[in-house]
């Protein structure tokens, strides 16, 4: 197992820049999720690491060896494709053993290792079946088997759960993470599904238009989004933005929202006047009759354990996640109170999060 280091990686297709000067490191045994919408460059990044695509510029190191222009077959990596790419003319056993065949491993050893791998993935009972008749989950396990049998330096997975139905996806998320805990393989996992990324990854890189917007642990990404894009992409419903016009001074501990003072974590930089947005997650909103920040209930969604209540305020619609016990009438006036420690302020023009003590403390 090993470390993957990406330095200033860039990929252009004609005039289109798919990946723009990305740099990051995946430590040995780490599980990194590349998260973003389709077309954000996450798959291209993964394919460059795999050697299926050559970068326009930049370097890729595997275990500090420069593999940027090595052939895919010479990189000792495994790749799990979205559509599994199981060879249809081979049965399960042959599919799993295929990578070993290329290394001229003796037949008896291939057999033993295929069975060992199949046991690990609990597919030893279907080894002699044809792959075309398999259910989605079993296909997925066979694809994983083919990937892990070689004990490669790292695993690359391109939306491997994308074609499974929702119920089964959850099962596979657990299985994948459990597998990772057992074999500790360095993994890069591409997904557009924030839940998968949050549930499995040690580190998440959120990508947008070929740029890595933020690289951090799931907690950092969720609690302290580095940009409005990340804040909006992660979380369901996403973070609320309440726009206001103001400048900020270093050390400020509150912002003025439509004339109402709202406490925020201490601002750690000077911000020239401009349009700003106060970011607040739905679960950090409480209803309070004493609060001066008021709005009218616009609608609610009942989710069983809790409910999402949309409130129309002077600064736009705000969605709050509150207990499901209380029921609201449409148009009812409510007061909103935010958890001050969890708030973030963004510069609307650049989308960047404004530095605060909270962010400093977390990011060092």
Partner 1 sequence: MSSVNTTAHSVVEPTPTAKRIAGAIVILYALVTMVPLAWIFLTSIKSPPDSISYPPKIVFTPTLEGYCNLFTTRTRQTPDYIQSLPRPTGTCDEITRGRNMVIAGRSNYWPRFGNSLLIAFGSTFLAVSLGTLAAYGFSRFRVPLADDLLFFILSTRMMPPIAVAIPIYLMYRQFGLSDTALGMILLYTAVNVSLAVWLLKGFIDEIPREYEEAAMIDGYTRLQAFRKVVLPQATTGIAATAIFCLIFAWNEYAFAVLLTSGSAQTAPPFIPTIIGEGGQDWPAVAAGTTIFLVPILVFTIVLRKQLLRGITFGAVRK
Q: Does 163 bind partner 1 (CB under 8 A)?
A: no
The residues, any chain, with a CB within 8 Å of residue 11's CB and separated by 6 or more, are: 17, 18, 19, 41, 44, 45, 48, 53, 55, 56, 210
Tell the smallest beta-carbon distance from residue 131 to partner 1 (Å). 12
Site string for partner 1, 300-329 (x = CB under 8 A): ------------------------------
Helix axes 92-102, 136-148, angle to 10 degrees: 20
Tell me the number of residues near partner 1 by CB under 8 A: 22
Tell the smallest beta-carbon distance from residue 201 to partner 1 (Å). 22
Q: Of the candidates 50, 142, 154, 157, which one interacts with partner 1 according to CB under 8 A?
A: 50
Q: How far apart are CA 291 and CA 335, in angstroms?
A: 5
DSSP symbol at 51: T
- Single out the residue of 297, 304, 338, 309 nearest to residue 324, CA to CA: 304
Site string for partner 1, 60-89 (x = CB under 8 A): -----------xxx-x-xxx-x-x-x-xxx
Tell the smallest beta-carbon distance from residue 52 to partner 1 (Å). 5
Cβ count within 10 A of residue 131: 20
Q: Are 24 and 212 in contact (CB under 8 A)?
A: yes
Q: Binding segment for partner 1 among 45-53, 181-189, 301-309, 334-342 (CB under 8 A)?
A: 45-53
Tell the smallest beta-carbon distance from residue 151 to partner 1 (Å). 13
Q: Does 146 bind partner 1 (CB under 8 A)?
A: yes
Q: How far apart are CA 191 and CA 349, in angstroms?
A: 28
Q: Which residues bind partner 1 (CB under 8 A)?
A: 50-52, 71-73, 75, 77-79, 81, 83, 85, 87-89, 98-99, 102-103, 146, 150
């Amino acid at each position: 197992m090993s470390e993957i280091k990406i330095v200033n990686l860039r990929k252009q297709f004609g005039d289109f820049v798919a990946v723009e000067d990305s740099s990051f490191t995946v430590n040995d045994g780490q599980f990194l999720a590349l998260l973003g919408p389709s077309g954000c460059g996450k798959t291209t990044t993964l394919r460059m690491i795999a050697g299926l695509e050559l970068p326009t510029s930049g370097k890729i190191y595997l275990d500090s060896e420069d593999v940027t222009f090595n052939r895919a077959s010479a990189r000792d990596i495994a790749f799990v494709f979205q559509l599994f790419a199981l060879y249809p003319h081979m049965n399960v056993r042959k599919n799993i053993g295929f990578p070993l065949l290329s290394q001229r491993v003796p037949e008896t050893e291939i057999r033993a290792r295929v069975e060992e791998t199949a046991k690990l993935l609990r597919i030893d009972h279907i080894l002699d079946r044809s792959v075309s008749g398999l259910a989605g989950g079993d296909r997925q396990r066979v694809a994983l088997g083919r990937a892990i049998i070689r004990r490669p330096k790292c695993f690359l997975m391109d939306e491997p759960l994308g074609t499974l139905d929702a119920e089964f996806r959850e099962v596979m998320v657990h299985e994948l993470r459990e597998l990772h805990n057992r074999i500790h393989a360095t993994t890069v996992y591409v997904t557009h599904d924030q839940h998968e990324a949050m549930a499995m990854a040690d580190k998440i890189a959120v990508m947008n238009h070929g740029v890595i917007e933020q690289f951090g642990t799931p907690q950092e990404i969720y609690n302290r989004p580095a940009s409005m894009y990340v804040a909006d992409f992660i979380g369901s419903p996403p973070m609320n933005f309440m726009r206001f016009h103001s400048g900020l001074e270093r050390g400020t501990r509150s912002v003025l929202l439509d004339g109402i003072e709202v406490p925020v974590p201490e601002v750690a930089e000077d911000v020239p006047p401009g349009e700003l947005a106060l970011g607040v997650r739905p679960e950090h909103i409480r209803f309070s009759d004493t609060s001066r920040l008021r709005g009218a209930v616009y609608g609610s969604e009942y989710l069983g354990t809790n409910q999402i209540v949309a409130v129309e305020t002077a600064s736009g619609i705000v969605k709050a996640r509150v207990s499901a016990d209380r029921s609201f009438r449409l148009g009812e006036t409510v007061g909103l109170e935010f958890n001050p420690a969890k708030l973030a302020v963004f510069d609307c023009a650049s989308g960047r999060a404004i530095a605060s003590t909270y962010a400093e403390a977390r990011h060092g």
